[in-house]
Structure 1
Amino acid sequence: MNELYIVLIRAHTGLGKAARKITGYGYTHIAVCTDRSLTDFVSYSRRYHNYPFEAGFTHEYRDYYAFGRHDSVGIKVFRLTPDAEHYDKVIRYIRSCENDSEETFNLFSMMTMPILHGIRIYKANNCMSFTARVIELSGCVKMDREHYRYSIKDMDELLEKYFYFEGRLRRRTSPHYDEYMEPFEVCRFFKGMGRLICDLISRIISDG
């Protein structure tokens, strides 16, 4: 049986905590896992813990979510079982995102989601638009608007009948943790921010 796990994450990051206070909704990140072990997640997110603007398609692991002093993280999981044709579409989409060097992180859409409900930018995704596209390609549910307009809460409600688990996910050590937790450097932080913002503005202008 083909299985896809849509995983909502109660992020321990400062941005995650701020988002919960602003929205009143508990889950602030979303990812996809292709097996029930829930150890290798794919999403659009930061590639280094201390550098949120160095972001794009990435693999994430349990200790990326339960980092530092944290030994677990709160999650909510939905289990989809697409047929072979739709599952193949999902896997091909994931691989295309992973292998396309032009793909980047859609910071503008993420920041304005509560107001504008999604901004489409050429080859730019965030955790919401990527996961919503996976859900759409799975063929398991009918979506009433374009995939990039779905928030995490929208997907939570959309997948209600596919609920699988809600609780704590225990930390598990990954071989990439030390690299992910590279120390913070001010210059690198602002350089990454400037590069991403300029890239997104350039894409908006070119597409316009």
Structure 2
Amino acid sequence: MPIQISAQYVKELRLKTGAGMMDCKKALQATEGDIDKAIENLKQKGLASVNKKSSRSTTEGIIDSYIHAGSRIGVMVELNCETDFVARRVEFQELAKNIAMQIAACPLVEFIQTQDIPSSIVEQEKKIEAGKDDLNGKSIQIQEQIIEGRIQKRLKEMSLLNQPFIKNTDITIQDLINESITLTGENIQIRRFVKFLLGEGLAKKTDNFANEVKNMIES
């Protein structure tokens, strides 16, 4: 017979996890009232649920933006979900804003996930790593292991989903999205983003004022 769980206990677990009331109650009953175990129980179920939802179509969502203080860095991101109802939720809009802010804070990020990185870039990174002096004197096998480890690290640095969330570095952006998937019950995907850096790509004048005065005098 399931043990009795108080409504206050269920509410406490719900506040900590964002899971539904019945899911919280069942998790507490299954773990005999142990909240830490119940949280782990919900996480495991949530991850399974996330995996099931990952193939669902996401044709709704929002485009959000973030302009960093000083107006020298700007980001636009498209975050997709399944329904307009979820797109209008405060939690979903906050997620989009947090993702845009994360992109602005990560100068090395160029892609959403490592699978998006072209093979040409991967090969170029391998050539760079293979040419480093600290590999000299090591066996081919050791060199390959070192290069592979460095490449994987580099690819993760370029991938948004692998970044530690700036507001809670214990989780990644993928974890943050998974939490929202569990909360909303819908598949959520980052479709695309673009970053703007003030003056990027423009040729900048290198002559300083002293050189300008000198040129004027000599002419």
| TM-score (structure 2 length as normaliser) | 0.19
Q: Give the structure with the larger strand fraction.
A: 1
Bigger RCO (CA 8 Å, 6+ sep): 1
* Higher Rg of the two aligned structures: 2
| TM-score (structure 1 length as normaliser) | 0.20
Q: Give the structure with the larger helix fraction.
A: 2
